[in-house]
Amino acid sequence: MKQFIFDARNGIHIIDLSKSLAQLEAACGFLAQTVGQGGQALFVGTKKQAQEAVRESAKTCGQPHVTERWLGGTLTNMKTIKRSMGRLREIEKMEADGSINQYGKQEQSMLRRELARLIKNLDGIRGMEKLPSALFIVDIKREHNAVAEARRLKIPIVAIVDTNCDPDLTDFPIAGNDDAIRSVRMVLSVVTQTIVQARAEFEAKYARRKAEAEAEKPAGDTTAGAPVAAAPVAPPVALAAPAPPPAVAAVA
- Give residue 200's pLDDT: 92
User: How do the domains of the chain map onto residue ranges?
Assistant: 2-75+131-209, 76-128
Tell me the whole-structure pTM to 2 decimals. Answer: 0.78
Give the span between the Cα atoms of 216 and 195, in whole angstroms: 32
End-to-end CA distance of the chain: 131
192, 56 contact by CB (below 8 A): no
Nearest to 172 by CA among 210, 136, 224, 147: 136
Give the span between the Cα atoms of 39 and 202, in whole angstroms: 10
46-90 pLDDT tens trace: 999 899 999 999 999 999 999 998 998 999 998 999 999 999 999
Residues in the chain with pLDDT < 70? 1-13, 16, 218-252
Question: Which DSSP state fits 185?
Answer: H
Give the span between the Cα atoms of 47 and 160, in whole angstroms: 13
Question: Which DSSP state fits 169?
Answer: G
Main-chain phi, psi angles of 59, to 5 degrees: -65, -35
Main-chain phi, psi angles of 45, to 5 degrees: -165, 100
The CATH class given to the 2-75+131-209 domain equals alpha beta
Nearest to 23 by CA among 171, 135, 133: 171
The CATH class given to the 76-128 domain equals mainly alpha
Give the span between the Cα atoms of 192 and 205, in whole angstroms: 20
Burial status of residue 174 (CB atoms within 10 A of its CB: 0-12, 13-18, 19 or more): buried
Give the span between the Cα atoms of 133 and 154, in whole angstroms: 10
3-state secondary structure 130-163: CCCCEEEEECCCCCHHHHHHHHHCCCCEEEEECC
Residue count of the chain: 252
- Give residue 8's pLDDT: 64
Helices (H) and strands (E) in the chain, counts: 6, 7
Question: Which DSSP state fits 1?
Answer: -
135, 146 contact by CB (below 8 A): yes
Distances from the Cα of 138 to the Cα of 3, 24, 52, 95, 147, angstroms: 20, 14, 12, 35, 11
